[in-house]
Amino acid sequence: MTTPPIDPRDLRHAFGRFGTGVTVVTTRNDVGEAHGATVSAFTAVSLDPPLAQVTLMRESKLSGFVAQRPFAINIMGTAQQDTCLHFAGRPMRDGPAWGQSSTGVPVLAGNAATLECRPWAVYDGGDHLIVVGEVVALEITPAAPLLFFGGKFHHLGGLVGGAPWDYCADGHAAQSSFVPALAVL
């Protein structure tokens, strides 16, 4: 039995039903200039060691740079929509606002958070490359994060259903005093 082929447009639409944050991944190109691309495929990987992942189009210039060079994952704030579009191919008149880096990698100003990384591993992801970086420096700001859903930018809404959990479903307690209720036999 053969499986019918998946229509790439339908798959893209299905992927778009998963809301994500928006990042701009920045590094230096072959001549040392700042280079970046808007990326919504970002994942936290590990706390120990501190690892984060971005998934980049294999054919992009950026994918050729970050495998061998330090890079930053700029987690974008709601005031940075024009910056996101700049790095997605719609250049801003005056260019983006650059910030200060503790490691020398180019970073953007106004981010919700910034993760400065050194290359850890690169994996085959079909038409994409899965790039894992070791986080060597970070900055967190009070800026609200910019979100992406259904092909459009969004802002963070209100809580749905209360506060986050204090207990991980696989049986490992988070750093809290939460103890699950036990049935008395």
**pLDDT per position as a tens digit, 21-58:** 999 999 999 999 999 999 989 999 999 999 999 999 99
Asked if residue 118 is part of any domain, the answer here is yes
Q: Which residues of the chain have pLDDT under 50?
A: 176-185
> How many domains would you assign to the chain?
1
Q: What's the domain range around 109?
A: 8-155
Asked if residue 178 is part of any domain, the answer here is no
Asked if residue 87 is part of any domain, the answer here is yes
Is beta strand 128-140 parallel, antiparallel or unpaired with respect to 23-28?
unpaired
Asked if residue 162 is part of any domain, the answer here is no
Burial label for 85, CB within 10 Å (0-12, 13-18, 19+), is: middle
Question: Hey, which bits of 84-157 come out as E strands?
Answer: 113-125, 128-140, 146-149, 152-155
pLDDT at 183: 43
CATH number, domain with residue 29: 2.30.110.10
Asked if residue 185 is part of any domain, the answer here is no
Write down the pTM of the prediction: 0.83
pLDDT at 66: 87
Closest CA to 137 of 118, 109, 152, 150: 118
Other CB atoms within a 10 A radius of the CB of residue 150 amount to: 10
